[in-house]
Amino acid sequence: MGCPIAHAHAYAQHQSEFVFPRYNLLWISWHDSAWIPILNPTNVMDYFQSTTNPFYDRTCNNEIVKMQRLNMEHLSNLTGLEYMLLHVQEPILYVIRKQHRHSVSAVTPLADFYIIAGVVYQAPDLGSVINSRISTTVNHLQGAFDEARTYSRYHPSKGYWWEFKETESKDLEDENKKSQKKSSKDKAKEESSSAFQRHRVNILLADLAKKFPIKNTPFPASNTHLPEQRTSVEDNSKVEVKVEVKTEPQGHKPPPEKKPRLG
C-alpha cells in the first residue's frame, strides 16, 4: 500500500483540476463579497485559501498545516509548495506569494497575487509581459503592411506605383466633418443663453427695478463768480514791461564830415 499522504495529495490535485480546468490565470479575477468588508492582515490568508478561489492550489503545505490545526510557523519546517503574505498596505492592498520551499532558508518564488479592494489578481511575470507586447506590436505591423499592400498598383508597361486617391478623398471628408463640428461648437459657444433664459432675466431685472428704484441725486449749483475771478487772476498775472530809453551824453563831438579831395 502507498502512503496515505501521497494519496491525499493526488486526490486533491485531481479535484482541483476537475473544479478549475487549466486556463490562463492572467485573464481572470476572483472575489467573495461576504469577505470584502471584514478583510484585514489576520484573515486575508483564510480569504485567499477559499475553496472557490482558482488561484489557490489545495495541494500546498498551507492546506496540510490547516488540516492538522498547526500554526503557520510550521511551514518553514516543510518542503514543497506554500503561500505566504508578502506585503500589506491597509486597507486596500495585500500581496501573496506562491513559492517552493527547498529548506528552511532556501525558497524559489513561483508567482505573486495581489488583492485590491477584495479582488484577487495574478501578477504577470516578465515573460508574459514581453510576449504580450511583442504580439501587439506584430499585430499592428501586420495590419500596416496589409493596408499598404492595398495601395500598390502594377502594370507590365508602367511597373509598380502607389495610388492614394481614396485616402485623399477620405482625408478631405474627415477635414470637412471636423470643420463642421468646430463651426457647430463655436455657434453653441456664442449662444450662451436661450431666448427663454434672456426673457426671464429681463423680467427679474424689471422686478428689481420696481422694488429698488433709482434715487435722483441733485447736482451742485454752478458758481457764477468764477469768470470774474479768472479775469482778476489773469490781470494780476500780467507782467509789467519797463521801457528804457538810452540817451547819449552831450560831451562827445560828432565825427567830422568827409570833404572831397580836389585833383
Confidence band for 9, pLDDT divided at 50, 70 and 90: very low
Q: Look at the block and give the residue holding cell 506562491.
A: 98
**pLDDT of amino acid 6:** 44
23: cell is 486556463
Encode pLDDT of 153-205 as tens digits: 889 988 988 888 765 566 677 777 887 777 666 665 665 666 666 677 788 78
Q: Tell me which of 252 and 126 has the higher pLDDT.
A: 126
Q: Tell me which of 168 and 263 has the higher pLDDT.
A: 168
Please give the Cα distance from 28 to 55 (Å, whole number). 10
Q: Which CATH architecture has domain 29-123?
A: Roll (3.10)
Encode pLDDT of 20-63 as tens digits: 445 688 889 999 999 999 999 999 999 999 989 999 999 999 99
62: cell is 498551507
Please give the Cα distance from 117 to 71 (Å, whole number). 27
Please give the Cα distance from 174 to 68 (Å, whole number). 70
Percent of the chain exceeding pLDDT 70 equals 65
**pLDDT of amino acid 1:** 43
Count CB-CB contacts under 10 A for residue 35: 15
* 77, 24 Cβ separation under 8 angstroms: no
Please give the Cα distance from 73 to 62 (Å, whole number). 10
Encode pLDDT of 220-254 as tens digits: 665 555 555 555 545 555 545 555 555 555 555 56
Residue positions counted in the chain: 263
Question: What Cα–Cα distance (Å) separates residue 52 from each residue in 31, 48, 55, 58, 251?
Answer: 9, 9, 9, 11, 145
Mean pLDDT, the chain, whole residue set: 77
Helix segments in 161-225, DSSP class H: 165-190, 195-211
105: cell is 532558508
**pLDDT of amino acid 106:** 92
**pLDDT of amino acid 242:** 55
Helix segments in 90-164, DSSP class H: 126-149
Residue 3 has pLDDT above 50, yes or no: no
Phi, psi dihedral angles at 259 (to 5 degrees):
-105, 145
* 12, 65 Cβ separation under 8 angstroms: no
Encode pLDDT of 54-65 as tens digits: 999 999 999 999
**SS3 state at 177:** helix
Please give the Cα distance from 57 to 13 (Å, whole number). 8
What predicted TM-score, i.e. pTM, was given to this entire model?
Answer: 0.48
Question: Residue ranges per domain, the chain?
Answer: 29-123, 125-173
